[in-house]
Amino acid sequence: MIPRPPAGWRVRAERAVTRGERLDAFIPTVLLDSPISRVGYWWGTTVGFVWGGLWSRGRIERRAGLWVFRGLPNWAFGRGGVCVGGCYLTGSAPVTDAVLAHEAVHARQWRRYGFLMPLLYLVAGRDPLRNRFEILAGLEDGNYVPRGS
């Protein structure tokens, strides 16, 4: 069951996205959506592919532009799954089209930020309702808030 979000979460989410946009203004444009960021995306994809290949005990498939690795042990990924470059690493939970749409946005974020993505995600924080990357990827599709909340 998806937990009900706290009152006022939308306002806090909008503030988090605005803070992130202000932070992006300090990043040199040569690092965003550039050949440099693409190298970071491919590095992330390679790391995801190796990690997924080592620990996946389920089906590995290509869906929605992502390499989907299933059956990883719970300690090998965060929350319900994690996007690393162009790879989605998860356990035994169903991989729905909505989740893949959410993860495809994360893959696009990896292409935009490249090597900066892990650091920027860390700075955005663990709370998905305040993490701009999760908010922009769609909290409903990511199963962080119930549909229509």
pLDDT along the chain (149 residues), means of 10: 86 97 97 98 98 96 97 94 98 96 98 98 96 97 89
pLDDT of res. 78 = 86
Half-sphere exposure of 7 (CA within 13 A, CB side): 0
> Phi and psi (nearest 5°) for 141?
-65, -30
pLDDT of res. 4 = 86
Q: How far apart are CA 67 and CA 48, in angstroms?
A: 9
Per-residue CA distances from 23 to 17, 32, 87 (Å): 10, 13, 26
Q: Are 91 and 72 in contact (CB under 8 A)?
A: yes
pTM confidence score: 0.95
Per-residue CA distances from 51 to 62, 69, 90, 107, 148 (Å): 16, 9, 11, 16, 35
101 contact partners, CB below 8 Å, separation of at least 6: 64, 138, 141
